[in-house]
Structure 1
Amino acid sequence: MSAARRDENISDNHDTGTSKLEDIAARTPGAKARTPLHFPLKAWWVILKRLYVMNDFHNLPLLAAGVAFFAFLAFVPLIAVIVLLYGLVGDPDTVTRSIDQLSPILPSAVLSILREQLLSIVNTSKTAQGVGLALALLVSTYGAMRAANAMMKALNIIYEEHETRNIFVTTLVGAQITIGMAGVAVVGLAAISIFTYISNFLQGYVGDAALIFLKLAIWVTAGFLVSFTFGLFFRYAPDRRPAKWRWLSLGSVAATLLWLAITVGFGYYAANISDYNATYGSLAAVVIFLMWLFLSAYSVLIGAEINAETERQTFQDSTIGKDRPIGERGAVMADTVLLGEASRKILEKKQRRRADRLARKMADENTEDDGRQ
């Protein structure tokens, strides 16, 4: 075959592929959307149905349980990183006072464990100076990376990516995410402390409306920082070309609101409805803490799933940098225009089950009719 003929065949195949994509795009609601806010209601209905399917396919409850376990192991080292970093710019004792601002949200058992660990770490960190401080920060960061590494694996599953980064790269990414989380927490604690100080200082000079506004500003700032932390996870943890922030913001906000609702709801449930002490005895506080970590991880993974499925819905390039055609974007969700084969099989399996149940029901009804005759 001549070179000219071969080039002509390649061009024909490319044109055929482009034509097929255009046909699919014409039938896909929201295919031309450049942000999730531009999706029509029909597109959101399709996304919601996929979220229901992918919750089982990706086994989000099991992933959340794994992330919660490693977060439990990383909790104390992560708190140590936060306290040590905060000690470089402020008094670590104020960390414990800032934690009291979270009492309306966190379950009492979680708050108790958090306060106990903070007091222990604050007292220990006072003796760490110079090289000792750097060594303590390094050891704590390494221990706290368990949660980041677990989340990286979970997000690779949700975004349907295979891990190709070597151990040095994954370790560096895990350390960066951990330090980033700790840095966001330090900024949040500092903001809460500043707002609280201003509120107390102005209490005798301004009216109740201004104080309410300040408290609202505290929680809005805290919510923004939590959403930003989730966005850092979604952007840098998976092994893929990072998504644009606008394709991460919706899932981050949804995860934050869901986490807040779950935290408040579970705190009320643990305090007023369920009796964990009667069931677990002295382990009740640990069980409540683990359950809260599980529900928190679940809310974050649902936010990631929302981001993944919104990326799958659009045909526009959702990754950073110059727009690239489908298949060259370096991200499965950005390069995928149809529901995956595995997901399709799950839907077909459910449809077969419904058909089998309907057939059995009709057979039973026919048997009853024959018995009456």
Structure 2
Amino acid sequence: MVDALTSADAEKPSWPTQIRSATWRYVLRRTFVEFVRDDGVDAAGSLTFFGVLAIFPAGLAIMAVIGIVGDSDDVRERLLSLLEQVAPGAVIDTADAILANVSGTTGADIALILSIAVALWSSSIYVSAFGRCVNRIYGVAEGRPYWKRKPFQLGLTVLLLAAVMLMIAIVMLSGPTLRLVGGLLGFGEVALDVWSIARWPVFALALVGVIAILYRGTGNIRLPRFRWLVLGAFVALLVMGTASLGFGFYVSNFARYNETFGTFAGVTIFLIWLFLVNVALLLGVELNAEIERGRELQAGFPAEEAVHIPLRDTTVIERNERASRITREHGSLLRQGEVPPPRPDSVVTRIREWLGRRADRRVQSRPRD
């Protein structure tokens, strides 16, 4: 477990410009080394699995909400046109099939509300899995109990989906929709032309913000200020875009997925693309962790082995440490030929103690003759 340095923040660099060039070289070099040591590729593969499980319910929740207030088919077409600029054609086909299925779910009845609630619960599994990867990269254990961790993850999922819908609104503000909104707000033609160009940088900044929120809210760590997380998020977006364009070029010109996978070629290409996206996201987390290490090293704190980040909660960590200590003690008794006593932390022992306390209360509550 990583201990928090209470006085570190007062002496660490407060802005990226205050980090020395030698520290930056150390950070960049160690980012790639630690990414390999932390099994970043394997972690990206597991996130791809959870992403597949979460992407359909997430799309259901988003398109269902949009279907209540607008035209989900129009939104689907605009999203696909945006995705066509960075993703391979097979990814577009798979995304089109997913969005076409979920866009048919409309109506503001109880069934729709329940389906959105179930979709949010299912979508949170990716947030949970990403949090485990963040904990591994920072070298900490999960210390939040399930009853405290799951509601927080659900709230974070709602926040992320709301941010995605905001990004969809940014994409939608073009053409006739832009002129309609501009006319209602009293904007002139010049302002509309400026927005037509500026909406793409705004979209990119919004995506960086979504990634930074994912970084900050998932792990069992209290990360530094938002400006330090944006660095990793920006690099993740840059790697994501470059990898998508490169993979799309490779699929279009060199790959023969149709001959190898047949009818599963589109799904295979989509999974590989999603894997590359998760590699980029985890590389951004790794960069943020090493930037924090560089800040501590430059301030004179011993962070060569571990980054000193305060934890959100240590309840589960302490419970697991007690359980491990009891297991070692029982193993020692077995080695010495003795019979270990019942585990005080086992469910059976707790039930027996609870039944015993209830029996004692009954005896004490009986009227005496």
TM-score with structure 2 setting the length: 0.72
For residues 78 and 215 of structure 1, the distance between their equivalents in structure 2, rounded to whole angstroms, comes to: 28
Aligned ranges 1:141-156 → 2 under 5 Å: 141-156=120-135
For residues 50 and 101 of structure 1, the distance between their equivalents in structure 2, rounded to whole angstroms, comes to: 35
Aligned-residue offset at 1:59: 0.7
For residues 113 and 177 of structure 2, the distance between their equivalents in structure 1, rounded to whole angstroms, comes to: 33
Matching residue within 115, 123, 143 for 2:96: 115
Aligned-residue offset at 1:242: 3.3
Aligned-residue offset at 1:71: 0.2
Aligned to 1:311: 292
- Mapped contact 1:317–1:334 kept (Cα < 8 A): no
Aligned-residue offset at 1:276: 0.9
Q: RCO higher in 1 or 2 (8 Å CA, sep ≥ 6)? A: 2
Aligned to 1:350: none
RMSD of aligned C-alpha atoms? 3.0
- AA paired with 1:129? A
For residues 135 and 206 of structure 1, the distance between their equivalents in structure 2, rounded to whole angstroms, comes to: 43
Matching residue within 44, 63, 75 for 2:24: 44
Aligned to 1:4: none
Aligned-residue offset at 1:52: 2.4
Aligned-residue offset at 1:187: 0.7
Aligned-residue offset at 1:191: 1.3
Question: What CA deviation, in whole Å up to 9, does each residue of 1:181-211 have, x standing for no partner?
Answer: 2111111111111134356789xx979x985
Aligned to 1:105: 86
Aligned-residue offset at 1:315: 3.1
Unaligned 5+ runs, structure 1: 1-16, 23-30, 319-324, 336-373
For residues 109 and 18 of structure 2, the distance between their equivalents in structure 1, rounded to whole angstroms, comes to: 53
Instruction: Name the SS for the 1:235 alignment partner.
Output: helix
- Mapped contact 2:23–2:298 kept (Cα < 8 A): no
Matching residue within 132, 139, 156 for 2:111: 132
For residues 102 and 196 of structure 1, the distance between their equivalents in structure 2, rounded to whole angstroms, comes to: 18
Question: What CA deviation, in whole Å up to 9, does each residue of 1:114-155 have, x standing for no partner?
Answer: 1111111111x12x4221121010111111122111111111
For residues 221 and 97 of structure 1, the distance between their equivalents in structure 2, rounded to whole angstroms, comes to: 20
Q: Is 1:275 aligned with 2:256? A: yes
For residues 290 and 333 of structure 1, the distance between their equivalents in structure 2, rounded to whole angstroms, comes to: 35
Q: Is 1:77 aligned with 2:47? A: no
For residues 215 and 152 of structure 1, the distance between their equivalents in structure 2, rounded to whole angstroms, comes to: 36
Question: What CA deviation, in whole Å up to 9, does each residue of 1:18-52 have, x standing for no partner?
Answer: 9xx99xxxxxxxx7421223212111111112112
Aligned-residue offset at 1:245: 0.3
Aligned-residue offset at 1:177: 2.4
* 1:105–1:249 Cα change, 3 Å: same
* 1:227–1:200 Cα change, 3 Å: same
- AA paired with 1:95? V
Aligned ranges 1:250-289 → 2 under 5 Å: 250-289=231-270
- AA paired with 1:142? W
- AA paired with 2:42? L
Unaligned 5+ runs, structure 2: 183-187, 311-369
Instruction: Name the SS for the 1:315 alignment partner.
Output: helix
Aligned ranges 1:1-373 → 2 under 5 Å: 32-99=12-79, 100-123=81-104, 125-126=105-106, 128-197=107-176, 213-315=194-296, 332-334=307-309
Sequence identity, in percent?
26
- Mapped contact 2:72–2:103 kept (Cα < 8 A): yes
* 1:86–1:315 Cα change, 3 Å: same
- Mapped contact 1:309–1:333 kept (Cα < 8 A): no
For residues 87 and 195 of structure 2, the distance between their equivalents in structure 1, rounded to whole angstroms, comes to: 20
For residues 249 and 264 of structure 1, the distance between their equivalents in structure 2, rounded to whole angstroms, comes to: 22
TM-score with structure 1 setting the length: 0.72
Aligned to 2:367: none
- The alignment covers a number of residue pairs equal to 294
Instruction: Name the SS for the 1:314 alignment partner.
Output: helix
